[in-house]
Structure 1
Amino acid sequence: MSQASNNAPVFEDLRVGDDITALVRGPITTSHLMRWSAAIENWHRIHYDLPFATEHDKLPGLPVNGTWKQHFLVQMMREWLTPAGWLWKIDFSFRKLDVAGSTLTAWGRITALEERDGMGYVTCEIGIRNQDGQESTPGTAIGVLPLQQGKVVPYPYPDAFASHDA
């Protein structure tokens, strides 16, 4: 898959089925979870107190914060699309608990390409898998790229507040 000199993908070179650049993080430690919890001021004990999480709440370990998973998927898409394009929409579902000690991979694959209103819309299947290949956070995302290399999607993106069923 071609990348422009600024590292953004070139819409005209993309194909359905192409993988997008994955991100890998881990193993996720208790310190990572505590730092994230502090940054977002989420002081629920399940993210740092192992006996509480496992004995009181009967969890298999300290869970990775849902907001961290959200950030991870958005980061993957933004790093792949920018600086020429924008992440337009993202949707995902927390289906399985990921816990401290896991190594997580955010991944994506192009499922549709559409030219509309002078822009290239890239629909992707996305998700987060653990080191055992188990999917915990499946979803979809739509990025917008310019149709001509060297251009950028305007900011603010004019379609950002439009009502489309994309």
Structure 2
Amino acid sequence: MTQDSFPRSETRHYCVPQRRSGASWERARGGRPMRRCVLRRSVPARRDARGAAAVEFALILPILMIIVVGIINYGDMLSVRQSVSQAAAEGARAAAVTTGSDTDKTTAAMSAVNGALSAQGKSCGSGCSVALAPCVGETSKKCATVTVEIPYKGIIPGFGLVLPSKLKYTAVARVS
């Protein structure tokens, strides 16, 4: 390998005119402006910042992942909550339209609640109740109050402090 094939020095010598105000300065130098010589790098300063983007990305990535996982967990909780409220409303509606005794209305309401919750893979256990009692404000009418309460565990662990542990919804419908 010849000596000419190696890269030359990274710094170069540049001379630039110096600007001075006043005619007396130019007259003292014979009418020509004084030149100032400066050493400048021929390689851009951007070269020193190599890898900075990777370090910044490595610092921000855990925060972004926590936000994305939190959004996924929160979306799942909202989906289950919507199913619980829909199940309670379906149970109250089934109790309202069923004819027969109070036991028939309670059985119809519970089967409607279980049918609505099965879409989420949940079932109504001891947290579901159907109460047939006089309506508030109209004691001559009977209302069905369906309460659905199911335990909720997020799809991704670690967000138990932020999300609720139980989802509860109550629906009321007039029976007669």
Task: Indicate whether the TM-score tops 0.5.
Answer: no
What is the TM-score when the length of structure 1 is the normalising length? 0.31
Taking structure 2 as the reference length, the TM-score comes to 0.30
Give the structure, 1 or 2, with the largest relative contact order (CA under 8 Å, sep 6 or more): 1
Give the structure with the higher percent helix.
Answer: 2
Q: Which protein is bigger by CA-based radius of gyration?
A: 2
